[in-house]
Structure 1
Amino acid sequence: MGLRDAGDPVELAARYDADGADELVFLDITATSDGRETMVDVVRRTAEQVFIPFTIGGGIRTVDDARTMLRAGADKVSVNSAAVARPELISEIAEVFGNQCVVCAIDARRRATDGSASDGWEVYVAGGRTPTGIDVIEWAQQAESLGAGEILLTSMDRDGTRDGFDLELTAAVSGSVGVPVIASGGVGTLDHLVDGVVTGGADAVLAASIFHFDDHAIAEAKAHMIAAGVNVRP
């Protein structure tokens, strides 16, 4: 998949906590396709060192899987492929642990004839590799109705490109649901973070590689967003 090793996730998590990150998200993107359980040991070690909220996702298929992650120290669980296959999983987890614990991760690609927004976007699963035929907007609305407390929205077209968020996608989903939307996929500059909120209407923005590989510091990102008029936690 052309992945680049960013180092030990627990060490990175501790660093980001110290640097002022608001929240952390761990996504084991191959857990579903490889049939592996999510990394419970990573969650436990992270919980011992990190004092900001963190979400764990990848391979969570049952309420028991969610319970294991939350008991290990995660604040929220993210569901994706398993929820697409069996949407009631969202409501089952929400009923036991509350809506605030359930994040519905949506991996989206443009339905492309000409690549325009009018074609809409399709939900992909298995780490963004498998098309489902499901419309992204409809799935986001269904996930909210089932009890998801947040939507983690990743543009697979932009992920890894550093070209910025798919702002049309972000705006379309943010405008169609009442729960917070976290924009993900494509951040390459600090202006992209601002764009996700100001133009895309996202409630939060997620970035990985610009921090993993020391292009920018979290404090620098926050200062840039504040200077642009975005309301950011201190």
Structure 2
Amino acid sequence: MLSAMDGVLSVQKERFEQLLTDVGPQWIGAEHIWNSNSDGPKGEAMVVAVLDTGINSDHPSFADIGGDGYDHTNPLGTGVYLPGSYYATVDASFCNDKLIGAWDFVASDGTVPEDNDGHGSHTASTAAGNVVNGATLIAPTTSASFNISGVAPHANIIAYDVCDDGCPGSALVAAINQVIIDASNLPNGIAALNYSISGGGDPYNDTVELGFLAAVEAGIYVAASAGNSGPAASTVAHLGPWVM
């Protein structure tokens, strides 16, 4: 038998795993909502705030027109963006009708909300990135192309750069305050705040978690990551009952 031969440590039956990250919307059943008659199909007319490492403003996931031909509508009006944001104060080319605002709260990276890590663009595109046809993954010996999409591909995005080498609490609290201000400046507010950063183990004594409570009181749904540790329940992050 092969398993008994010298030099053979293990023999296992062949199995085929399935790709997951590029089919996230299907995995959670988003298509059932997309195809229903509910308000806001695919996130249309909703705004998502993303607190992370910034955003790659020129990426197709954040273009005005998505790969499915959807032309985004700016809730503030074309060419009008959030007052005081990076677009309004520094670079008029940074935003569009999809990416309607961007802020930087980490002075050490030059106060430019362009993504300095890639993580922020990853989370923003997962939550509300456009349909992108033929996104290509290139490896040393091969490449593969897929059609990808965020869960709410027709939603608008506001990016808040709160991390450099780390994510200082002062930047996080300032950004949450700005999210609430921005919500008040939008005709339909901000639907969701996406937060894929650690913390929240002691929510009643944590200024960031209490900031989330204020955001929820302002009508914003807060989605925070459970963390990358486990499987013990004690490793779950963001324990405040006001966040999802």
Same fold (TM over 0.5): no
**Which is helix-richer, 1 or 2?**
1
Greater C-alpha Rg: 2
**TM-score of the aligned structures, taking structure 1 as reference length:** 0.37
The structure with higher relative contact order (CA 8 Å, sep 6+) is 2
